[in-house]
Chains A and B, each alone.
Chain A
Amino acid sequence: MNSSDILGRQETAAPSLPLAIELRGISKAFGTVQANKDISIQVKAGTIHGIIGENGAGKSTLMSILYGFYKADEGQILIKGIPTIIPDSQSAIRAGIGMVFQHFKLVQNFSVLENVILGAEDGALLGPSFTRARNVLADLSAEYDLDVDPDAVVENLSVGHQQRVEILKALYRQAEILILDEPTGVLTPAEANHLFRILRGLKAQGKTIILITHKLREIMDITDHVSVMRQGQIVSSLETSETSPQDLAERMVGRKVLLQISKSAPNYGDEVLRVEGLTLHDEQGVERLSDVAFSIRAGEILGIAGVAGNGQSHLLEVLAGIRNAQGRAFLKSEVLNLTGKSANAQSRRAMGIAHIPEDRQDMGLIMDFMAWENMGLGYHNDPLYQHNRWFMNNDALLDETAAKMDRFDVRPPIPTLAAKNFSGGNQQKIVVAREIERVPDVLLIGQPTRGVDIGAIEFIHQQIIALRDAGKAILLVSVELDEIMSLSDRIGVMFDGHLMGVKDATQTNVNEIGLMMAGIAPPQEGII
């Protein structure tokens, strides 16, 4: 066992705490892919244990094994010291394990109470279950600061509240061990803080919590111990107090990384993009954008912060020509048509607007296409890639792809490899290379580093800064507040389709932005 020395150290460090969960030599392979390899973790009762790793490091597989979704090929699970076999999630629940998934598993049109007892009804009649659940919920809510109206319908609850319902569900099933998978991905900073308060309260009551995340700050803030995963293996198990974000990042990636982005002072030029009164109703008639107005200058990065689903995606799609909308938009002094024949992605590209979409697997790339074909996506009509009127010059595109892959350090540098066979970070590099290498006047970027490993994040951020320094206008949409804070020159916040305001990045802070993300404007200092 490769980590036995570290484990030994842990036990001597805190001998009094019994183990809530112990994993011994867990391995799991999917076909030829080794998702988990000889994983051993000891989670002490009454602690918060973080598991951190990049996308694809095997965190989710490991938790799925623990929750009975997958069966491990090898290894043993001990719960409170007793070897336990977990063939399905029912057994996991019986063993006292509760899971809060990244994507909630709630019935949207059921009330909180109905969701809580769903699957845990005792008896044929619902009446007694409801009465019992209502009492238990009241106790739990009071005990853990988990205030949720038991009669509220789930679809009317905010994301933060829905997450609390998931936690209540687990607690109602008498979970002693709570696993949370990337719980803050959909929360505002204030909601995330509240969640952490709840988790600390649970810990104080002796519950054990396993927190899976890729955010270094969360690990540092809340966990007692942390296990770092890389390529299906546990590379380190540490006391959180004995490590630092820099140290963790390096353990995750396996080499030195720059966490801080070095960025020179902005050098603004003329206004490049101006948007006025942008309003969008989607297919269902729901207003997604209401009267949005802003402008971006040359050499400027305007960051758009906000919790996912508040209109940022629609804003990008409108500007990229994928959706029609009402309002006015101008590129330099030219009018951008938001409806009609020329409101499409092709004419936007011709005008010098490039777009790195939020969802590279669905929109930015065609997963079955080879890298070189993807490099032509959106530019396949470019005269560069034509032999003549009739035939495309595939070789020209192939050569160019090879060159771009080299410049952007895409691995493996094989232009004929299908996009689906690259890692997330390398896929994103292909998209970034395609859009940035055209040196557009305006670059629209959505979630540039979602699901991208730290090494690639660093590289992509540098490319974005370089384009800004070359005097181009950049609109950056991200739900990662850190990313927005560190890259943007000005920061706008979207809430419910409204642009809540635009702040100079040097004159604002996370609290102010966080309040705007929650829809509170005008913002005041010092409330959180």
Chain B
Amino acid sequence: MEKLPKWADAFLVPLVSVFIAFSISGLVILAVGEDPIAALRVMIDGALGSTYGWGYTLYYATNFMFTGLGVAVAFHAGLFNIGGEGQATLGGLGVALVCLFIPWPHWSLALCAAIVSSALFAALWAAIPAWLQAKRGSHIVITTIMFNFIAASLLNYILVNQLRPKGSMDPASARFPQATNLPGLDQVLGLFGIPFSSKTPANISLIIAMICCILVWFLIWHTRLGFAIRAFGKSEKAAVYAGINPVRITLYAMIISGALAGLMAVNTVQGEANRLLLNSVEGAGFIGIAVSLMGRGHPFGVFLAALLFGFLYQGGAELALWTKIPRELITVIQALVILFTGALDQMVRRPIEITFALFKKKEH
């Protein structure tokens, strides 16, 4: 029989994990001589206390949704795609190329082109390790990590030698034309009469990320490809028995995974910076792994986890700004959240399972 009811598995376990992570973080803050309650208040105020704070939180969350979904799709196929970072880097290149070199009459067309281009670039970047794993047996964890470095070097080369405007000392592309600038979240929400700060980087990409959550949900649980991906991910032998081609599924899953990670560039490169920077991904590819783990690979879970990590990112920045707590401490908090929701899942789960079992016994 199932040990835990579904709601407890999906919500209670992660919530308890987060609570423990926060408690330990509180002790750490206490140890550096600060007040944890005050620190939490600063974080909540800074990240959620104003539409300005929300703007940043949602901007970060958008990134994490894309990369988290990417990791989740690969994970359903039993593939551990650690290459979100590199794939998003290549996605950025895709965005920059269409925005820089094609004169777009309207942002909506530029957005469509950027979506296609970023997804394509990132998908191709993910397809190489996928092909190497499927055909040559090179382990995808190793190859995707290595491809992160290659992507970084490649971008460095292209920015410095190709895209850098003449005379600029900055390894970054030129600014994109005004027509490619995406509407901010304030403009989107303004359509519904909801006031929102116009000074934040949050933009329409959030809507795209949420649509992607829904699409991924359909893909995984309501399409033949999703069925094949999940079957392959759970048991390669059973998948082959069912006539599912492992090479094809590995490629498809990684292409979709890479494309999702690549879409993140629409948010950062086109939505925020309006030019291609050297490090526009800023570790979001790796956070995506934690987001996916915490979200249990479910798009809705990824959505919620992305919000949590968006909050941690923005709240952490505020913490560094307004308190004497060093910025590094926020990394500690994030690490604790990852540790408890990912690695130490069983430690939290067992006691909850036992509690549930006890209650069940009493009922009977």
- CB pair A381 B241 closer than 8 Å: no
15 pairs, CB–CB < 8 Å, chain A vs chain B? A31-B353, A321-B243, A344-B245, A348-B243, A355-B241, A362-B237, A362-B238, A363-B238, A363-B241, A365-B238, A366-B238, A367-B234, A369-B231, A391-B222, A394-B222
Contact of A357 with B by CB under 8 A: yes
Question: Chain B, 28-61, contact with A by CB distance < 8 Å: what is the 0/1 string?
Answer: 0000000000000000000000000000000000
A348 to B237, CA, bound (A): 16
- CB pair B227 A392 closer than 8 Å: yes
| Selected interface stretch from A68-76, A207-215, A372-380, A489-497 | A372-380
- Interface SS, A side: loop
Chain B residues with CB under 8 Å of A390's CB are 223
Contact of A386 with B by CB under 8 A: yes
- CB pair A366 B223 closer than 8 Å: no
B interface residues (Cβ-Cβ under 8 A, vs A): 1-2, 218, 221-224, 226-228, 230-231, 234-235, 237-238, 240-245, 353, 357, 361
Chain B residues with CB under 8 Å of A392's CB are 222-224, 226-227
Given contacts A32-B357, A366-B234, contact A373 B241 (CB under 8 A): no
A479 to B241, CA, bound (A): 21
- CB pair A380 B238 closer than 8 Å: no
Chain A residues with CB under 8 Å of B245's CB are 344
A386 to B353, CA, bound (A): 37
A368 to B235, CA, bound (A): 9
Chain A residues with CB under 8 Å of B241's CB are 320, 322, 345, 355, 357, 363-364, 377-378
Q: Looking across the interface, which residue of chain A has its beta carbon closest to that of B218?
A: A391
For chain A, residues 343 to 361, give those with C-beta under 8 angstroms from any C-beta of chain B: 344-349, 355, 357, 359
A363 to B244, CA, bound (A): 12
Chain A residues with CB under 8 Å of B237's CB are 359, 362-363
CB distance from B178 to the nearest CB of A (A): 38
A391 to B221, CA, bound (A): 9
Additional A-B contact list (8), CB under 8 Å, known A377-B231, A392-B223: A31-B357, A322-B240, A357-B241, A363-B235, A367-B235, A377-B238, A378-B243, A380-B242
Instruction: Classify chain A's interface size.
Output: 35 or more
- CB pair B242 A345 closer than 8 Å: yes
CB distance from A196 to the nearest CB of B (A): 36
Q: Which of A344, A359, A363 contacts B243 (CB 8 A)?
A: A344
A349 to B242, CA, bound (A): 9
A322 to B361, CA, bound (A): 46
A153 to B351, CA, bound (A): 49
Which residue among A376, A378, A380 has the maximum number of chain B CB atoms within 10 Å of its CB? A380
A interface residues (Cβ-Cβ under 8 A, vs B): 31-32, 320-322, 344-349, 355, 357, 359, 362-369, 373, 376-378, 380-381, 386, 390-392, 394, 417-418, 421
Which residue among B221, B231, B237, B243 has the maximum number of chain A CB atoms within 10 Å of its CB? B243
Q: Looking across the interface, which residue of chain A has its beta carbon closest to that of B353?
A: A31
Given contacts A345-B241, A347-B243, A362-B237, contact A418 B2 (CB under 8 A): yes
Q: Looking across the interface, which residue of chain A has its beta carbon closest to that of B226?
A: A392
CB distance from A136 to the nearest CB of B (A): 44
Which residue among B2, B222, B224, B353 has the maximum number of chain A CB atoms within 10 Å of its CB? B224
A357 to B223, CA, bound (A): 26
Chain B residues with CB under 8 Å of A368's CB are 234
Q: Looking across the interface, which residue of chain B has its beta carbon closest to that of A31?
A: B357
Chain B residues with CB under 8 Å of A31's CB are 353, 357
A381 to B243, CA, bound (A): 10
CB distance from B78 to the nearest CB of A (A): 11
CB distance from A259 to the nearest CB of B (A): 32
- CB pair B222 A373 closer than 8 Å: no
Chain B residues with CB under 8 Å of A377's CB are 231, 238, 241-242
Which residue among A357, A363, A366, A381 has the maximum number of chain B CB atoms within 10 Å of its CB? A366
CB distance from B245 to the nearest CB of A (A): 7
Chain B residues with CB under 8 Å of A32's CB are 357, 361
CB distance from A282 to the nearest CB of B (A): 15
Chain B residues with CB under 8 Å of A373's CB are 227, 230
CB distance from A162 to the nearest CB of B (A): 27
Chain B residues with CB under 8 Å of A349's CB are 243
A55 to B230, CA, bound (A): 30
- CB pair B227 A362 closer than 8 Å: no
Chain B residues with CB under 8 Å of A357's CB are 241
A321 to B231, CA, bound (A): 18
A362 to B72, CA, bound (A): 23
Q: Looking across the interface, which residue of chain A has its beta carbon closest to that of B2?
A: A421
A421 to B1, CA, bound (A): 6
Chain B residues with CB under 8 Å of A394's CB are 221-222
CB distance from A382 to the nearest CB of B (A): 10
A7 to B86, CA, bound (A): 71
Give me the 6 closest cross-chain CB pairs, A-B, nearest first. A346-B243, A345-B243, A378-B242, A366-B234, A363-B241, A380-B227
A365 to B243, CA, bound (A): 13
Q: Looking across the interface, which residue of chain A has its beta carbon closest to that of B231?
A: A366
CB distance from A455 to the nearest CB of B (A): 21
Given contacts A363-B238, A366-B238, contact A386 B243 (CB under 8 A): no
Q: Looking across the interface, which residue of chain B has its beta carbon closest to that of A362?
A: B237
CB distance from A56 to the nearest CB of B (A): 15
CB distance from A323 to the nearest CB of B (A): 9
Q: Looking across the interface, which residue of chain A has its beta carbon closest to that of B235?
A: A366
CB distance from B214 to the nearest CB of A (A): 13
